[in-house]
Amino acid sequence: MLIKSSTEFKEQFELLLQDKTIEKSIDENMAFGDLKHNSYAAWSLLVMSGYLKVVAASLIDGITICKLAIPNFEVRVLYRNIIQNWLGNGYGAEWYQSFLTYLLNGNIDKFVENFGQVLAQTISVHDVAHNPEAFYHGFMLGLTAGLDQRQYELKSNRESGLGRYDIAIIPINIAKSGIILEIKSLAPPKAPKRKLPEILNSLLTKEAQKALEQIKHNQYTMELVQRGFTSIIKIGIAFCGKEFRVAAEKSGQC
């Protein structure tokens, strides 16, 4: 349920993992069948099963509005383990942590190699059919859920420079590298089957480069620069189904 949830749900859940609270309407009479059609039912289920706690509650027009938080450290660890094991997909939590380390250190070649394994084994092309860019955005947020919130701040769709970046990974220690990710998605191109791989590779490569140029042109790194970061990793990722290409640049300049 957590993994297949919407981008909005994942963003809200990320706030909880950062020890923040969120407000949601809670229905004590929800049925399991509601989970397929209503994301609010998921919050109700987590509350009633003890995986979220109610910090405060109020009744507004007959609707119970609750301020929610993760109840304790043990449940927070459980959530992280669920996400890490899913993303590790048989490789284990150690492999997943190595994958994150490649990203955080700007080892793009290793990141791409391992990211390809994650993408190939954990999503279906049917998952991306409705709203591809939103799906990939949520997928990338899920990938970074294993970050230690005491050491990193994760932001999504925030204003910086001349626009809104997709995702920023901001270390508490400014001696480390700050990361900006911009995500693009392409519809499968119409082309003869024998030419499709070559055409798709070209389109994805151009789109990834376009995403990288967008980061630079719109000065998405401005927030990091203002915070005092001297090492910044800019990453553009273009997706089409399970195929992707990455364009990246690591520098001390915005």
128, pLDDT greater than 60: no
87, pLDDT greater than 70: no
208, pLDDT greater than 60: yes
Q: How many other C-beta atoms are found inside a 10 Å radius of the C-beta of residue 216?
A: 18
Instruction: Give, in order, the Cα–Cα distances in Å from 40 to each of 3, 33, 66, 135, 169.
Output: 15, 12, 12, 19, 28
Look-up of token digits 């409705």: 130
- For residue 239, which of 201, 209, 212, 204 has the smallest C-alpha distance? 204
Rounded to an integer, the average pLDDT of 165-191 is 90
Q: What is the pLDDT of residue 117?
A: 75
The pair of structure tokens assigned to 231 is: 């090492």
- For residue 112, which of 235, 200, 210, 30 has the smallest C-alpha distance? 235
The pair of structure tokens assigned to 242 is: 């399970």
pLDDT digits (tens, 9 = 90+) for 28-58: 776 666 666 666 788 888 888 889 999 999 9
**Residue pair 252/233 in contact by the 8 Å Cβ criterion:** no
Instruction: Give, in order, the Cα–Cα distances in Å from 14 to each of 19, 57, 155.
Output: 9, 21, 9
- Helices within the chain (DSSP H only): 7-17, 39-48, 73-88, 93-105, 108-122, 132-143, 196-217, 222-227
The pair of structure tokens assigned to 195 is: 């030419």
173, pLDDT greater than 60: yes
**Residue pair 198/220 in contact by the 8 Å Cβ criterion:** no
**Residue pair 144/118 in contact by the 8 Å Cβ criterion:** no
% of the chain surpassing 70 pLDDT: 81
Look-up of token digits 């490649």: 102
178, pLDDT greater than 90: yes
| Torsion angle, alpha carbons of 239, 233, 168, 74, to 10 | 100
Q: What is the pLDDT of residue 253?
A: 47
Rounded to an integer, the average pLDDT of 229-253 is 88
pLDDT top residue among 216 and 162: 216
Rounded to an integer, the average pLDDT of 16-32 is 80
**Residue pair 215/182 in contact by the 8 Å Cβ criterion:** yes
Which domains are assigned to the chain? 7-73 (no CATH), 90-251 (3.90.1570)
**Residue pair 45/107 in contact by the 8 Å Cβ criterion:** no
